Amino acid sequence: MSATVSSGAGLRPEPFTLVIFGATGDLTNRKLLPALYQLFAAGRLPEEFTVVGFSRRPAEEFHAKVGEALAGHARDPGFARFREGFFYTQGDFEDADAYRRLSDLLGETDRKRGTCGNRLYYLATPPSAYEAIVAALGKSGLVGHPRRSTGGGWTRIIVEKPYGHDLESARALTRTIQGVFAENQVYRIDHYLGKETVQNLLVFRFGNGIFEPLWNRQFIDCVQITVAESLGVEGRGEYYDQTGAIRDIVQNHLLQLLTLVTMEPPVAFSAEAVRGEKVKVLKAIRSLTTQDTLERTIRGQYQSGVVGGRAVPGYREEPRVAPGSRTETFVALKLFVDNWRWSGVPFYLYTGKRLPSRTTDIAIWFRRAPHLLFRETNIKEVEPNLLLVKIQPEEGITLRFGAKVPGPAVQIETVDMDFSYSTSFRVPSRDAYERLLLDAMLGEQTLFTREDEVEEAWRVVTSILEGWRASPPDPLPTYPAGTWGPEEVDALLKRDGRHWHHWA
C-alpha cells in the first residue's frame, strides 16, 4: 500500500511565463534547462508554458546555448513544440528601458500564448545583480499584488543561493525583496531540499512510529553530517574564493540537513507548519564565541594531490583564485542545539572539496548498551548502533547493529541492515531542480527557505566568521587533495572519545 505526501504530486501548473535572469549563464544551462525539459517530457508542464530569457548577451547566444543544453533531445517527439515557447530580451539588469521591453514582450506572450499574466521570475545571475533586478521589477510595474495581481495573474520569484554574504547582507537583501514582493511570493532555493533522500528524512522520522521515540538525547550519543566532494572548484574560482566552504555549504545545505534531523514534528505537512518548526530549532543552535571557534572548528585548504587516480592542482593554483588565498575549502565543526530534546548532544558537521569521494550522509550514533552482559567472554565492549542515512551517491538507509557470529563461543560482529532506493523502487531519482521548479510553478513553498530560516542560519555562520576573523590560524591548515582533510580534524572527535564514521 502507498500513501502520497507530496502536495504537488500529479498536479499541473496553470499557464505561466518563466522569466530567467542570467539566461545565458552556467546555472541555466546545467540545471534549469535540463530540468524544464524533463518536466515537459513527463507531461508536467502546461501546453502554454513559455520561457523568456533576459541577460546582457545577444539573443543568438541564448538560443545557441538552449540548443546545446538540450542537444540530446532534439529528435524527441514534441521537442519542437517545447522550443517554440522560448523568447528573449537582451538588456542590462539596471536599464529601465530593458524592463520596458520585457514588459512589452510579456504582454505579447500573454496574448499569443495564453499565459494569463502569470509570471515566475528566476534570479540565476551572480548575486551582485539581485537587488538591482528586484528593484527594477518593482519600479516597472512587473510585480503583481500577492493576491490580486494587476495582469489578473500571479507573480512569484525564485532566488538562488548565495543569499547574502553574512547576516547583515542577507537582511539587506530581504529588505529589498520585501519592499517589492510579499513573503508568499518568494521562493529561496536550497537545492538539497529538492533531493528525494533529503525529503525522505521527514518521512522516515514522522511517517514511522518506531524511530521518533529514540530520537533524542536519551538514546542518541552524537550526529555526524557529511557533505564530501571529490570535485574542486570547477572553473568557479572567482566565486569560490569570495565564498569558501562555510558560506558555500555549511550556511545552507549542512544547516538544512541538521534542521531536518533535529526539528520537532510539525502539526501539518504545510509550508507554514514545516518552516515554523525549522526556524524554532535553528534558533536553538548555539552561536560560537571566538574561543569556541578555536576549540570547535577546523578549516583547511587543499593542496595538489591525486583524486580518483588523477593528479589535480592545489586550490591556490586553480584559475581565478588569488595565489595567496586563505579561503577554506574544508570545514569541520561541532554545534549544539540548546533545547530539551538535544541538550548536550554534539552535532559534527564535515564538508570539503577534493576529498577522496563524493559522499553525503548523516550518521546517527546511538548510546552504547548500558550493561555488558558478555563479561565472561572475550568481548570488552559492544559497538554502538549506527543509523546511516545515505543521501548521495548511494541513496538509502543502513542500520548497523551487533550480531552473534555463528559458533559455540559468544562473539559479536557488527552487521548492516540495508534499504536502498534503487532496489526498492527501481525508478531513478529525479534531479532536485525538477522538483523545486515544479513546486514553485504550483505555488508550493514547503521546500523553500523562509526569510527567518535564512537569517538564523546566517546568525550561526556569522558568529563563526567573526571568531575566525578575530583569531586567524597561521598558517591555514592544508591537506593533500584526495585525503579526508587536514590532520587536525581527527582530534576534534578524538578528544570527545569518538571517531568520524567514514574514517573508520
What angle is formed at CA 199 by the lines to CA 345 and CA 427, rounded to 5 degrees?
Answer: 135
**Residue 453 in the binding site for ligand BG6 (CB under 6 A):** no
Q: Which residues, 6+ apart, have CB-to-CB distance to 16 below 8 Å?
A: 46, 48, 49, 50, 115, 116, 118, 119, 120, 153, 154, 441
Contacts with ligand BG6: how many residues (CB under 6 A)?
A: 5
User: Considering 253, 371, 499, 501, which one is annotated as catalytic?
Assistant: 253
Helix, strand, or coil (residue 420): strand
Q: Which is nearer to ligand BG6, 247 or 275 (CB)?
A: 247
Q: How far is the CB of 501 from ligand BG6 (least distance, A)?
A: 18
Residues in region 307-336 near ligand BG6 by CB under 6 A: none
d(CA 329, CA 160): 21
* Cβ-proximal residue to ligand BG6, closest one: 248
- Among candidates 362, 418, 364, 361, which has minimal Cα distance to 392? 361
For residue 371, give the C-alpha cell: 550493561
Q: Is position 501 annotated as part of the catalytic site?
A: no
Give the count of beta carbons closer than 10 Å to the beta carbon of residue 152.
Answer: 11
Stated as kind and residue range, the H or E segment containing 418 is: strand 412-420
**Between 219 and 238, how does the x/- string for binding to ligand BG6 read (CB under 6 A)?**
----------x-x-------
Q: Which is nearer to ligand BG6, 48 or 229 (CB)?
A: 229
- Among candidates 449, 448, 245, 215, which has minimal Cα distance to 337? 215
**Between 150 and 189, how does the x/- string for binding to ligand BG6 read (CB under 6 A)?**
-----------x----------------------------
Q: How far is the CB of 357 from ligand BG6 (least distance, A)?
A: 12
Q: Which is nearer to ligand BG6, 360 or 449 (CB)?
A: 360
Output phi, psi for 259, to 5 deg. Answer: -65, -45
Output phi, psi for 210, to 5 deg. Answer: -90, -20
**Amino acid symbol at 128:** S
- The residue within the footprint of ligand BG6, chosen from 221, 241, 248, 318 (CB under 6 A), is 248
Stated as kind and residue range, the H or E segment containing 203 is: helix 196-206
Count CA atoms within 13 Å of residue 27 on its CB side: 18
Q: Which is nearer to ligand BG6, 33 or 493 (CB)?
A: 33
Q: How far is the CB of 192 from ligand BG6 (least distance, A)?
A: 7
DSSP 146-202: SSS-TTSS-EEEEEPSP--SSHHHHHHHHHHHHTTS-GGGEEE--GGGGSHHHHHHH
Q: How far is the CB of 248 from ligand BG6 (least distance, A)?
A: 5
Q: Which is nearer to ligand BG6, 248 or 444 (CB)?
A: 248
d(CA 73, CA 36): 12
Q: How far is the CB of 360 from ligand BG6 (least distance, A)?
A: 6
d(CA 245, CA 477): 14
Q: How far is the CB of 254 from ligand BG6 (least distance, A)?
A: 11
d(CA 214, CA 41): 43
Q: Which is nearer to ligand BG6, 218 or 242 (CB)?
A: 242
Residues in region 339-378 near ligand BG6 by CB under 6 A: 360
Q: How far is the CB of 100 from ligand BG6 (least distance, A)?
A: 34
Q: How far is the CB of 456 from ligand BG6 (least distance, A)?
A: 19
The strand order across the sheet containing 186-188 reads 86-90, 50-55, 17-21, 119-123, 155-159, 186-188
Q: Which is nearer to ligand BG6, 252 or 303 (CB)?
A: 252
Q: Which is nearer to ligand BG6, 192 or 365 (CB)?
A: 192
Q: Which residues are catalytic?
A: 253
Contact set with ligand BG6 (CB under 6 A): 161, 229, 231, 248, 360
